[in-house]
Amino acid sequence: MPSRRRALLKVIILGDSGVGKTSLMNQYVNKKFSNQYKATIGADFLTKEVHFEDRLFTLQIWDTAGQERFQSLGVAFYRGADCCVLVYDVNVMKSFDNLNNWREEFLIQASPTDPENFPFVVIGNKTDVDGGNSRVVSEKKARAWCASKGNIPYFETSAKEGTNVEEAFQIIAKNALKNGEEEEIYLPDTIDVGSSSQQRSTGCEC
Amino acid sequence: MIADGVEDEEKWLSAGIAGLQQNAFYMHRALDSNNLKDALKYSAQMLSELRTSRLSPHKYYELYMRAFDELRKLEIFFKEETSRGCSIVELYELVQHAGNILPRLYLLCTVGSVYIKSKEAPAKDVLKDLVEMCRGIQHPLRGLFLRSYLSQVSRDKLPDIGSEYEGDADTVMDAVEFVIQNFTEMNKLWVRMQQQGPAREKEKRGKERSELRDLVGKNLHVLSQIEGVDLEMYKEIVLPRVLEQVVNCKDDLAQYYLMDCIIQVFPDEYHLQTLETLLNACPQLQASVDVKTVLARLMERLSNYAASGAEVLPEFFQVEAFAKLNNAIGKVIEAQENMPIAGVVTLYASLLTFTLQVHPDRLDYVDQILGACVKKLSGREKLDDSKATKQIVALLSAPLEKYKDIDTALKLSNYPRIMEYLSDGTHKEMANVIVQNIMKNKTCISTAEKVDALFELIKGLIRDLDGDSQDELDEDFIEEQNYVARLIQMLHSDDPEEMLKIIQTVRKHILTGGRKRLPYTVPPLIFSSLKLVRRLEGQDESVSGDEASTTPKKIFQLVTQTIEALTSIPVPELALGLYLQCAEAANDCDLEPVAYEFFTQAYILYEEEITDSKTQVTSIHLIIGTLQRMHVFGVENRDALTHKATGYSAKLLKKPDQCRAVYACSHLFWLDDHDSIRDGERVLLCLKRALRIANAVQQMSNATRGSSGSALLFIEILNKYLYFYEKGVSQVTVESIQDLIKLIRNEMQGETSPSDPAADAFLASTLRYIQFQKDKGGAVGDKYKLIIV
């Protein structure tokens, strides 16, 4: 049944500060790129409609702050994610080393029902920088890490030039959809016609 | 009832989630059956859960996120409703019938989002209506979340350039206006939160506000992402409006956080072009705002930008960034009299990093910054606050890392002045950084003046500073002194005059080092001096007519005095080794009296100071080895010295040591490359004497242990026989060699002789050598053929 609920897919983008999370999202959703570095504060999303297997889905892509001091409210928005994208900068070793932390943090905080099989996608961004000469993380190394974590799909992109971004998000959407189909369904304990919330609320009646 | 525990809060949250889920369930059923009325009813009931006042921001955010997710489904439903013919305008009116204002506004924002998408009204009108309507919620926590909901759903519908919602004219301005208005309202709610509630909960409120800060800051992020906010608009509208809000709210938490946000979310180019505006806001902030961290972060950002490529540097010059930052820092420090010294140094360290990145050629700027720092440090006690110390080490290390050259740092007049304010421990740490920088970059320091300045700079390593003369030599100390030794080896000038001055300068400094350091610092200086002597060796004496000029003699005098400094420690075996090195150098310069004097000094040390028998053994072999290579001595001097050396050898404590020293002496009488020193008689005398001692060793062994000792000594002597036989010493005969071999075999096969694999192997290989020489043929082969084994 093409339920309304399943028409929405939630994707979270994580990674160190400055690896290009916002740029990837902007490139994918708006086909725009800016060279200027602008930090992200908190978390918010852009949406994009995608066609998949003759159906229309809305992809809700959450961009997050890489700097911890701009994540003051915590990560409640991880809840209900259908796919998590881990991004690093191929020119910065530390950003690759931190992927593991981001992955574990996500699994702890989002606590998906089946953490073993939760869909991740890894993106090595900024392949364009200095014609690839300043690259420090080899593709082989990145792929080996992805293989060791349960064959995570891996993409190398340039948000600046738009290379491989579309391809990466197609797989992201596909895997998010696969995950979403196994979502739990809520059933109320009791059938209650009225609502008791008014009694529970305190404070002003606004 | 006040919820005062975490447990209670958990309970409230679960109750809220339960209520929310239940209503969501009914909402879903309504959505699935396209029942608009029920959908509105249950969604409003669901949203009522957000009216709670019992949750902390974190927990409220959890509840909000669940409601948020449900509203997305409702939004899709609204969209479908409009495509089924329901008028969006009617829908926009309809949701306003919800009883409570909070659910009503959430629903309104949700429909509003669909409204803008439908393009039935200009985006700016709908947005304006929504942002105004949200004023209805004045409770800070609820208001902040409602407005951030508005900000989120409108995010992709702002009428900015290139957007499908772009209208006819001034549309970017509408987008900017909307976001700034929302930002202003949110900031007001956020600031007001501090004033609400009882005073005793002030701290708790501060914490809660801190958790909520990103909701406010997020608006600035949205502003920075709006397409069409170019430099001009940023400069004229965005920044002044935002700063106005920041300054006027007079709240230290908000000011500190929002300044940081502005710096982080807007691009570097904009900051450079509006530097003055941004910096002028700093003195207007509350006194309790940590302006230094704000400025330090700004400078850090700009430094990184400058490092991104040389092509951006002209932007910095054009706006005179250094002068502006320098000025702003000065003002901040002046205004905040109570700023801890660590803060002051942090600011200057950031400015220095910036300057090194942007103006690497302006040493005067660098010195100016250091000078300003000295000014703040003067009149204070030496620094011992660990934070300030860390910063000052960073400050002083930055120029070294940038220029990779201590030479440049030595040109900074204020550099040593800052070092004066360091505690002894830090001074030493910094001195280590300097020395290691020189090692790493292989910097050559080539004038006495620079050497003097350098050694003054690193005096923490060179001598005991006040009050730290602990006597133990720990590993760190030894490592440090080894670094100093390496440093001394690296000082070099091609001009001998200057090199001598350098040596004298180093000498002056290291002689203040005390007994702990001299054993590490004197040897490298001696070797450095001898290197200079050898450089002069090739030159003719004709230059030496000039009295002031550098001559080997002069250097030898200096060297003698330097080694004498070791006598007080005392380290006689080190001094003896150095004297012998000097003697060899004097030998190469054909200075017989000088060489003789060095030997005399070595002998005096041997006789008077070296009492340990093991040290005596190593020393005597050094003496023999050195003496063997000397050719400068006349017969008389040589006789005197060799006589003494053989005498010492025969007087060693252990017989085997005597034996080995005596046969080593045989080399003193036969020099291959020196016709005048070929005294076969005395060679033989030494060997025979060694044999006698070896015999005595065996007898002693028999007497005390009842078994003979190893034949090793005999085999060693046999090898000496073979050596001199091969060299053509006629006194060493074939018979004597054959007799010796026979003797050795007897010794090894005797009933009382112990088995000794080492001796067996040694003999076997000696015999193999004889066979090998025989097989070689020619003159040597003929000679060896005479030996019948």
What would the pLDDT profile of B85-99 be if each residue is shown by its tens digit?
889 999 999 999 888
Q: Are B175 and A67 in contact (CB under 8 A)?
A: no
Q: What is the pLDDT of residue B104?
A: 96
d(CA B335, CA B783): 98
Res A5 pLDDT > 60: no
Enumerate the residues of chain A whose CB falls inside 8 A of the CB of residue B211: 72-74
For chain A, positions 19-78, list CB contacts with chain B under 8 A.
22, 29, 32, 34, 36-42, 44-47, 58, 60, 65, 67, 69-74, 76-77
pLDDT-above-90 percentage for chain B: 64
In the DSSP assignment, the letter for residue A132 is: G
Nearest to A76 among B61, B155, B221 (CB): B61
**How many other β-carbons are positioned within 10 Å of the β-carbon of residue B222?**
24
Contacts of B139 in chain A (CB under 8 A): 203-204, 206
Helix/strand/coil (H, E, C) string of B589-601?
A: CCCHHHHHHHHHH
DSSP-based helix, strand, coil % in chain B, nearest 5:
75, 0, 20
Verify cis geometry, omega within 30 degrees of 0, for the bond prior to B570: yes
How confident is the model over B228-232, as a mean pLDDT? 91
Phi (first) and psi of residue B593, to 5 degrees: -60, -40
Q: Is the pLDDT of residue B170 over 90?
A: no
DSSP string, A48-78: EEEEETTEEEEEEEEEE-SSGGG-TT-SGGG
Are A41 and B261 in contact (CB < 8 Å)? yes
How close is the nearest chain A Cα to the Cα of B272, in Å?
13
Angle at B236 between CA B235 and CA B239, to 5 degrees: 55
Residue of B141, B152, B264, B300 to mutate for A, most A C-beta atoms under 10 A: B264
Task: Work out the minimum CA distance from A74 to partner chain B, whole angstroms.
Answer: 7
Looking at the predicted structure, is the pLDDT value of residue A2 above 50?
A: no
pLDDT 10s digits, A110-123: 989 889 899 999 99
Which pLDDT score is estimated for B84?
87
Residues from chain B that touch A196, judged by Cβ atoms under 8 A, are 19
Contact status, residue A1 vs residue A53, Cβ threshold 8 Å: no
Test B267 with A37 for CB contact under 8 angstroms. Answer: yes
Query: Which H or E element spans position A125?
Result: strand A120-125
Distances (CA, A) of A127 to A90, A158, B204: 7, 5, 46
Contact call for A197 and B53, based on CB within 8 A: no
The residue with greater pLDDT, A188 or B359, is B359
Query: What local confidence, expressed as pLDDT, does residue B676 receive?
Result: 80
* Distance to chain B for A184, nearest Cα, Å: 13
Question: By C-alpha distance, which of B349, B302, B305 is closest to B324?
Answer: B302
pLDDT in tens, A74-95: 999 999 899 999 999 999 999 9
CB contact under 8 A, B269 and A206: no
Read off the tokens for A91.
Answer: 């020119």
Coil, strand or helix: which one is A138?
coil
Q: How far is CA B28 from the centre of its chain?
A: 61
Query: For residue B383, what is the DSSP state?
Result: B
- Show Cβ contacts of residue B322 under 8 Å, excluding neighbours closer than 6 positions: B316, B354, B355, B358, B359, B362, B365
Average pLDDT over residues B178-184: 96
Instruction: Give the lowest-confidence range in A125-129, A167-171, B88-92, B785-789.
Output: B785-789
List the single residue in A with minimal CA-CA distance to B47. Answer: A197
Q: Are strands A154-156 and A83-89 parallel, antiparallel or unpaired?
A: unpaired
Q: Which two tokens stand for residue B661?
A: 């020293």
Lookup: tokens for B434: 């300097």
How would you class B134 by CB atoms within 10 Å of its CB: exposed for 0-12, middle for 13-18, buried for 19 or more? buried
What is the model's pLDDT at position B1? 42
DSSP labels, B262-317: HHHHS-HHHHHHTHHHHHHHGGGS-TTS-HHHHHHHHHHHHHHHHHT-GGGHHHHH
Q: What is the ipTM of this complex?
A: 0.89
What are B120-169's pLDDT values in tens digits?
888 889 999 999 999 999 999 999 999 999 999 998 888 776 777 766 55
Nearest CA in chain B to A47: B156
Compute the average pLDDT of residues B668-689.
89
Query: Contact B73/A186, CB-based, under 8 Å?
Result: no
CA angle B465, B469, B474 (to 5 degrees): 110
C-alpha B52/C-alpha B498 separation (Å) is: 84
Burial class (CB in 10 A: 0-12, 13-18, 19+), B378: exposed
User: What does the pLDDT read at residue A199?
Assistant: 45
Q: Which of A64-78, A160-174, B548-562, B641-655 has the lowest mean pLDDT?
A: B548-562
Contact B217 A47 (CB under 8 A): no
